Structure 1
């Protein structure tokens, strides 16, 4: 249930203090200037929570923590609501909404899209790496997904980072004249002998994936922003989307 905050941890470990801040603010707005060990946190936004006096702080890195109005105490982890239907993960609901919003903002021409001949019933977004075995397995089922009415939009996520062979291959794919063919070929280890070069979104998409919580590939994002890590069969995906297989 607990998520480790790399940015926060790096700042905190210099003194070993987990719950203190240099900011003693009287208003929640001051949390935008929150500091740890004299260093300003990269705060993206501060949101109210259902718990009075507790605020959700989002960092530019995609990480989240909770604090009081003075920024004196930090809680790292997810917030749950004990509802009549059981525990509801409010933190994950917020993360899903943010994923959906940020993915919706990606231009269509920066994605690699596979769709059937009919109007899609649902669209999934997949962070992929051509060197990933389970990514290849999922890709083999794309025609079946398309027949079910599921459009597949691919984004790049080189597992080994931007200096990896996977990143080089993905850049070649995104620079190809026919990206859909190039991606399918790349998943069968077939790439152009000459390395294509162009302005491409691979690095940007890799950073986006990290900010959205992608830790491996394939990482499937459903239309509501829910992330499904790892390979899932076409039938199972259709069930998640309430589509008939």
Structure 2
């Protein structure tokens, strides 16, 4: 659901039969929030530090804010004016949810590159084998592994499930050795078909969309922060708080 959509909603006249705010107002809002007579696909409603304002999160990952009766919406990020400066509370919530969702992805559904030594951190990376910047980042993987940083790839075909990236990544995930197949694909080598299998490419693509991925590579740090685009190994190590 886009900001343009919400802008339309704000301009519309809404009359929503939501119960009066009380100790159960968040749950009541989650159960009853409607737009144009249709229930919204609400995943959660949580109180915010602002009295009478609730954070509403939808199934597609979008977040907005509502009063207890559901007849006024705010779209945008909520900030705390703290002593140390502005703190983006909305982004903090996104980070936590992003980390939790990615932790649920089974390791056998990832293409994992790890070094021989102690693991100091793990990066989750949404990738596309046809993406030039993904290939540039992949060249940094040996250096990351040497620094104790594992790289766990998830699939995100940037042109959708009907594009060449989706087809190649399905081959990667179905290969006998997915790590070798991933490296070969990023060298633009032709992969042996090897038939099809029950692969997670489409599921991971949808997950990426839900988590705010808009392009590749999309690097997710252990705390759930989303870092878009290519980042050199040394910079990533610095962001992780790791020193040589």
TM-score category of the 2 structures, normalised to the smaller one: over 0.9
Unaligned runs of 5+ in 2: none
TM-score (norm 2): 0.93
Q: Mind listing any 5+ residue stretches in structure 1 that lack a counterpart?
A: none
Whole-angstrom CA distance in 2 between matches of 1:198 and 1:130 = 18
Q: Distance in 2 between matches of 1:196 and 1:81?
A: 53
Q: Choose from 13, 16, 22 the match for 2:16.
A: 22
Runs of 4+ in 1 over 6 A off after TM superposition: none
**How far has the Cα of 1:188 moved from its partner?**
1.2
| Partner secondary structure for residue 14 of structure 2 | coil
Root-mean-square deviation (CA, aligned residues, Å) is 1.7
Supply the distance in 2 between the matched residues of 1:170 and 1:234 (Cα, whole angstroms).
24
**Partners of 2:6 and 2:194 in 1: CA distance:** 40
Residue 21 of structure 1 deviates from its aligned partner by 5.1
Match of 1:31 in 2: 29
Q: What residue number does 1:231 align with?
A: 230
Check whether the contact 1:23–1:72 (CA below 8 A) recurs between aligned residues.
Answer: no
In the superposition, the TM-score normalised over structure 1's length comes to 0.93
Q: 1:84-121: per-residue Cα shift (whole Å, max 9, x none)?
A: 00000000000000011001111010001101001210
Partner of 1:123: 122
Work out the CA distance in 2 between the residues paired with 1:23 and 1:164: 44
1:123–1:222 Cα contact (<8 Å) kept: yes
Structure 2 counterpart SS, 1:143: helix
- The SS at the match of 1:66 is strand
Structure 2 matches for 1:117-156, cutoff 5 A? 117-156=116-155
Structure-2 separation of matches of 1:40 and 1:12: 18
